[in-house]
Homo-oligomer: A and B are copies of this chain.
């Protein structure tokens, strides 16, 4: 009987090793094969010695999952790598969907990580201290109508809003529309934080306002945090107060 392998779905956190869970590092060490998008693989180079490494481009999620399960069926321990938390717009869902479709009984362990919005918030101050909504502006896999509706409802509910995948080379309208929608509910002075490559090489932290946010560079490696009606910006520190009577 063939030995069964295992698939770890790993979140490597926002970038710096200091923010990567020991469980993730240990799973990488235990793995025979590591599969992931090239940019993320480069962040964990120090743990790759002696491993089979399969890097691949974006938009190959399903192929990566199929490969991980096939290798595990051959007896290998495989790590499928996401940045941040694999459970938040990462690889956990695709892998489990593919596993169900294949009716595979391979053991899968999801190892959570610090997601991009937590790292961004820490660099900005404390913008997430109140209820918040996390919305991806990528319409590759979601109808743009639904995304717009969610932005409007989050605006109406005075949620702090964290935008993932706010803008790519081929997708620039969505962040403009999002700004327009939110200006119906919030003042143009509402504090906004823009964090690119939080805790890793090329880190950029910008504090601005809802009215001026589009004057700053925003791309796929950026998280945008839009404050609620109580969020303040003082000395470049963004805080959504929770009302301790301070």
Contacts and interface: CB of A to CB of B under 8 A. Distances in A.
A119 interface: yes
Contacts of A131: 133-136, 142, 147, 150
Interface in A13-35: 13-14, 16-23, 26
A37 interface: no
Given A149-B157, A150-B159, 18 more contacts: A20-B22, A21-B114, A87-B126, A93-B129, A96-B125, A97-B241, A97-B244, A112-B114, A114-B118, A115-B115, A131-B135, A131-B136, A132-B133, A133-B133, A142-B242, A142-B243, A153-B153, A153-B157
A77 interface: no
Contact of A118 (B20, B88, B93, B142): B88
Interface in A101-126: 101, 110-115, 118-119, 121-123, 125-126
A11 B242 CA distance: 18
Interface string A79-95: 00000011111101111
A119 B129 contact: no
Copies in the complex: 2
A150 B158 CA distance: 8
A244 B113 contact: no
Nearest to A95: B126
Interface stretch (A50-58, A170-178, A232-240): A232-240
Contacts of A88: 118, 121, 128-129
